[in-house]
Amino acid sequence: MAKARTAYVCSECGAEFNKWQGQCGECGAWNTLSEIVLESAAAAKSPASRRSGWAGKVDAPKVTALKDVRHHEDARVSTGIGEFDRVLGGGLVEGAVVLVGGDPGIGKSTLLLQAVTQMAATLPGLYVTGEESLAQVAGRAARLGLPLDGVNALAETGVERILEHAAALQPKLIIADSIQTLWTESLTAAPGSVSQVRESAARLVRYAKETGAAVFLVGHVTKEGGIAGPRVLEHMVDAVLYFEGDSGSRFRVLRAFKNRFGAVNELGVFAMGERGLKEVPNPSAIFLSGGSTQQPGSCVMVTREGTRPLLVEVQALVDSSPLSNPRRVAVGLEQNRLAMLLAVLHRHGGIVVSDQDVFVNVVGGIRVQETAADLPVLLAVLSSLRDQPLADKTVAFGEVGLSGEIRPIPNGEERLKEAATHGFRRAIVPKANAPKGGSYKGMEVVAVERLADALEIAE
């Protein structure tokens, strides 16, 4: 086998060099050159030599008027796990390449092993492990009580040999655990390096698109929380899913950060148990405290993750500060936005917390990135400051502007429906989101236009 030609490209400016050097000769950056494979023109023109049963013959590309292109809905195959299907956009699409990242021990391998065994009847799978032995994988499957009919396993890290086995078996689903352990003979860099990760992923992506086989890539994360390897890895795949969760909690959250076949920021909730990951179809119930009475400093809000409205509890603690510069701590919310909201509370609500430490937390480890949390945060802060709980079974949502106005947010009716389903009897919402008549399915809806109105109602 002839060795492929390689080059070295600067990750900062894109300059290309024939050999490695410590400093880029174009931009002057240090240690930014990584090895890449230069594909010959003949290889680029050659058609795919292998096909699987899921995809038919690939025609030569030609220029076509866009209006004449026939399009159809992507056929989806269920993974057998409802929450997983939700995050994927309704199921798995043929030829899709999905990157799953998360902290060590969070449950990435467990979830994919459960999925490949559930889909074995419709999609014969190949589980490629580069970190564990086959005995370890089989032992985990036996411990979880998973059926193993129709699932083949391979302990291999060489991409060329993996593709050879795939060409012989023609699986319709391949799981590579993990992408950081794979390497290709065409590069001299060590496995796990930027160039090896990028080239190995490119080979698997090309195979998926040519054959129609779906591919899951397991990715390790760095201490900053991003997937280890080149950033281009996330651009090469069709979907990027992150497993999130606290090591001390049994609940896991699977979130879609990129999805060409579904909604971004879609959320799936799982509970880790002795028999593996179990889906949680009603996550709103676990994100609420479940206390019998309302406590000071607590406010329930309705956030939206992808296509799903979720009820989450926002807690605030306001206490006198011994420091000259009081602390502002936000967990699950953007800290700069908390500082801005406290300034609006002072300017347009007449509530002074400049000499108080303010701590805000979203229960359950959820990160709320939308502005619907503005009003619940301020109501929770006010409740903690005055040591008075809000009215029982009260929910709130709304964006607070710098001039003190309460702005509407999208999908207000769906949020009210979710709150009414869980037995809430009162909702404080922006006026533009309030239904006519002041009630919704037996729940009183209080419409507010200004922050001062909301604070008065909360009293």
Distance CA 112, CA 211 (A): 21
pLDDT computed for residue 47 by the predictor: 41
DSSP-derived letter for residue 100 is: E
Distance CA 141, CA 129 (A): 14
DSSP-derived letter for residue 347 is: H
Distance CA 152, CA 134 (A): 10
Cis ω before 178 (30° cut-off from 0)? yes
Distance CA 273, CA 261 (A): 30
- E strand intervals along 122-172: 125-129, 151-155
With b for 16 or more beta-carbon neighbours within 10 A and e for fewer, the 96-126 pattern comes to: bbbbbbbbeebbbbbbbbbbbbbbbeebbbb
SS3 labels along 275-330: CEEEECCCCHHHHCCCCCCCCCCEEEEEEEECCEEEEEEEEEEEEECCCCCCCEEE
Inter-CA distances, 215 with 233, 362, 442, Å? 14, 35, 48
pLDDT computed for residue 142 by the predictor: 93
Token code pair at residue 186: 């065409």
Inter-CA distances, 56 with 48, 171, 317, 425, Å? 12, 15, 60, 56
Distance CA 410, CA 109 (A): 36
- Non-local (6+) Cβ contacts of 88 within 8 A are 76, 79, 98, 239, 256, 259, 261, 262
Token code pair at residue 118: 């559930």
* Tens place of pLDDT per residue across the chain (459 aa): 455 677 888 877 778 888 889 998 888 889 888 777 765 444 444 444 444 444 444 456 789 898 888 877 778 999 999 999 999 999 999 999 999 998 888 899 999 999 999 999 888 999 999 999 999 999 999 999 998 888 999 999 999 999 999 999 999 999 999 899 999 988 887 888 878 888 899 999 999 999 999 999 999 887 666 676 667 788 899 999 998 877 667 888 898 999 999 888 888 999 998 889 999 888 887 777 655 567 899 999 999 887 888 999 999 999 999 999 999 999 999 999 999 999 999 999 999 999 999 999 998 778 898 999 999 999 999 999 999 999 999 999 999 999 999 999 999 999 999 999 999 999 999 999 999 888 898 899 999 999 999 999 887
Token code pair at residue 351: 């509530």
Token code pair at residue 53: 């049963």
**Partners of 125 in beta bridges:** 151, 173
Entry pTM: 0.76
Question: Cβ of 212: how many Cβ atoms within 10 Å?
Answer: 19
> Do residues 213 and 54 touch, judged by C-beta distance below 8 A?
yes
Torsion of CA 280, 283, 289, 290, to 10 degrees: -70
Question: Cβ of 50: how many Cβ atoms within 10 Å?
Answer: 14
Distance CA 96, CA 215 (A): 6
Q: Looking up tokens 């533009």, which residue turns up?
A: 432
pLDDT computed for residue 60 by the predictor: 62
Long-range Cβ contact pairs of 438-442 (< 8 A, separation 24 or more): 440/413, 440/416, 441/416, 441/417
Inter-CA distances, 93 with 31, 79, 108, Å? 39, 10, 20
Inter-CA distances, 96 with 109, 443, 450, Å? 18, 43, 47
pLDDT computed for residue 55 by the predictor: 45
pLDDT computed for residue 51 by the predictor: 43
Residue count of the chain: 459
